[in-house]
Structure 1
Amino acid sequence: MGRFISAAVLRDMAKAGKHIVLEEDSVLTPSAKDLAKELGITISKGREEITSHNIKAVSVSSGTAKVENQNEDLKKAVQKILGEVLKPACENPKATHVKGETVVIQPFLEAPPGQKVGLVDVIDSRVGNLASGFMTFDHSQLPWFLNYDEVDYVIEGEFVLEVAGQVFRAKPGDVVYIPKGSQVVFSSPTFCKVFYCTYPANWADFCE
């Protein structure tokens, strides 16, 4: 015979909290059941749960299955997101040789009106996971937000970069790294030509 739980015993147990777990063979007296309803006590006993409203069977297996299904759905969602985020810009990168005489720098159409900014990509996501190319500034400036990492190498002239309250004045041979998420202003008080490399190569795909 299991242990009988009287109303008095139940009241003492309830001092520790509204949810009480009893042994499998415990038996609630009628007065204890009434008290549970009165005080809003939830009582778990094996596969049974007695609440303030009724006594109902709790399916442990179905609850576990539900949690497992939710975990599986979450896992699939995370894998899908990671698959998109970590997907390489170029699935089949290949060694590429770009001859200098074929490079033609074009006006950068997204530059502010009146600003003489030139740009050309020589390596893009069609051949690699890094993009690279050349840009020029002729007494001009270009405000820009980088949602990618960039490294700039100054080929000629004076290259000025403003980022996070800092001003970098780079000369030929200098290298500048700009982290993703930076709001910058590229410029030159005279003329400069810069070689750049960005990662990922398909950064434009993530622009809003």
Structure 2
Amino acid sequence: MREVIRIDHQDLSFNIRGETPGMAYVARALSPEVSPNMGIGFARWEGAEVEWTVLYDEVIFVIEGCFELTANGQKHEVRPGQMLWIPEGTALTYAGHALFGYVVHPGNWKALHGLT
């Protein structure tokens, strides 16, 4: 039987994402080895703007600050206590100043798309 895992964002190693004027940091909290079904982590956006087309379904939930996401010509401002669901294939820009959590499905999306 597998055990319950407690994860604190302060214990994770954050990696820089994007080449932008601001900074963006992302830390995967659950590896595909723990769950190939879900990818879970934390991110901190400090003014970065990162363009991406998601290769998975994603949920973003804001813990502090204001996260901004632009997709299909619409800008979404997401604040603490709010979340976004983003369907696979969405071309978007992540931006803002926020600490947020994310969940992606499938968790092994990199392997499925030949990116590992």
Same fold flag (TM > 0.5): yes
1:198 alignment counterpart:
104
Moved over 3 A (4+): 93-96
Asked whether the equivalents of residues 107 and 116 of structure 1 are also in contact (C-alpha less than 8 Å), the reply is: no
Is 2:65–2:98's contact at 8 Å kept on the other side of the alignment?
yes
Q: Is 1:171 matched with 2:86?
A: no
Aligned residue in 2 for 1:122 = 29
Which residue does 1:181 correspond to in 2?
Answer: 89
**Structure 2 unmatched ranges of 5 or more:** none
Structure showing greater radius of gyration is 1
Once residues 94 and 102 of structure 1 are traced to their aligned partners in structure 2, the CA distance between those partners, rounded to angstroms, is 24
Select the residue among 153, 177, 186 that pairs with 2:61: 153
Higher relative contact order (CA 8 A, sep 6+): 2
Normalising to structure 1: TM-score of the pair?
0.50
Partner amino acid for 1:146? V
Q: Residue in 2 aligned with 1:131?
A: 39
Secondary structure at 1:98's aligned position in 2?
coil
Matches within 5 A, 1:56-67: none
In structure 2, relative to structure 1, the CA distance for the partners of 1:202 and 1:184 (3 Å cut) is same
Q: Which amino acid aligns with 1:120?
A: A
CA contact (8 A) 1:147 1:180 kept: yes
Q: Which secondary structure does the structure 1 equivalent of 2:100 belong to?
A: strand
Q: Match of 1:204, SS? A: helix
- Determine the C-alpha separation between the residues in 1 that align with 2:87 and 2:9: 31
Residue 201 of structure 1 deviates from its aligned partner by 0.4
Q: State how many pairs are aligned.
A: 113
Higher helix share: 1
Provide the alpha-carbon RMSD of the alignment. 2.0
Name whichever structure is richer in strand by fraction. Answer: 2
Aligned to 1:9: none
What's the % identity of the aligned pairs? Answer: 23
Contact 2:45 2:99 in 1 (8 A): yes
What is the distance in 2 between the residues matched to 1:176 and 1:101? 20
